[in-house]
A and B are shown apart, each in its own frame.
Chain A
Amino acid sequence: GENVEQHPSTLSVQEGDSAVIKCTYSDSASNYFPWYKQELGKRPQLIIDIRSNVGEKKDQRIAVTLNKTAKHFSLHITETQPEDSAVYFCAASITGYALNFGKGTSLLVTP
């Protein structure tokens, strides 16, 4: 089955800096790659997603890039703010099947 690796497991940045989280996947048939943000004790919430026919997608301060050849995708957060502090999960799936999640990255943005 699909295996999703996520790095780093923890990330600390200064407010205003950029943060990058990277994921790799094993199944070349995967074609949907969402990112979820989970605050302590809360539900995971979708922040951005990308499909395999697109190389990059941006939404305000958040962007995701996908390299199908290398089977990796990344989340980029620019101008980080304290409220960006949370655990971020990447996931991969094949259309019609459930999401396979990475182990998560705990992001801390310090003022």
Chain B
Amino acid sequence: EAGVAQSPRYKIIEKRQSVAFWCNPISGHATLYWYQQILGQGPKLLIQFQNNGVVDDSQLPKDRFSAERLKGVDSTLKIQPAKLEDSAVYLCASSLVLGGNTIYFGEGSWLTVV
């Protein structure tokens, strides 16, 4: 079974620039998550989708971060403009149904803002 796919794997940008990350969840998985993992910390939820609807985006810094999941499959997370503190790994994850089932993570997109 194919896993959660993410791209790009690595990105270096200057502060105030923009960046976009793409995620393709496991086929058939209705729930998709974006987590931010700062070095040395646990993953922190940014946004949770159920199909193409947002379930929880309470921790998403909406002044600079946006995410969409058109057609309920792939998702894109955008940061504009980036700040130094956005340097982190952005992990996409998916699960078959909403809540309670195993969550599978992608390898992550490593962002460095200089």
CB distance from A73 to the nearest CB of B (A): 15
Which of B41, B100, B104, B108 has most chain A Cβ within 10 Å? B100
- Closest B residue to A45 by beta carbon equals B105
- Name which of B16-24, B43-51, B62-70 contacts chain A: B43-51
B-facing residues in A27-58 (Cβ within 8 Å) = 32, 34, 36, 42-46, 49, 51
Q: Inside 8 A of B91's CB, which chain A residues have their CB?
A: 43-44
Pairwise interchain contact B41-A104, C-beta atoms closer than 8 A = yes
- Residues of A near B33 (CB, < 8 A) are 98
Is A68 positioned at the interface, with any CB of B under 8 Å from its CB?
no
Residue pair B42, A46 in contact (C-beta under 8 Å): no
> Which A6-24 residues have C-beta < 8 A from chain B?
6
CB distance from A102 to the nearest CB of B (A): 5
* Residues in chain A near residue B106, CB distance under 8 A: 43
Contact pick for B43, options A44, A45, A93, A96, CB 8 Å: A44
Is B107's CB within 8 Å of the partner chain A? yes
Our pick among B44, B99, B107 for the contact of A43 (Cβ within 8 Å) is: B107
Chain B residues with Cβ under 8 A from A43's Cβ? 4, 91, 105-108
Chain B 1-13 interface mask (CB, 8 Å, partner A; 1/0): 0001000000000
A103 within 8 A of B: yes
A4, A45, A95: the one within 8 Å of B100 (CB): A95
Which one of B99, B102, B103, B108 contacts A95 once the chains associate, using CB atoms below 8 Å? B99
Nearest-neighbour CB distance to chain B for A82, whole angstroms, equals: 22
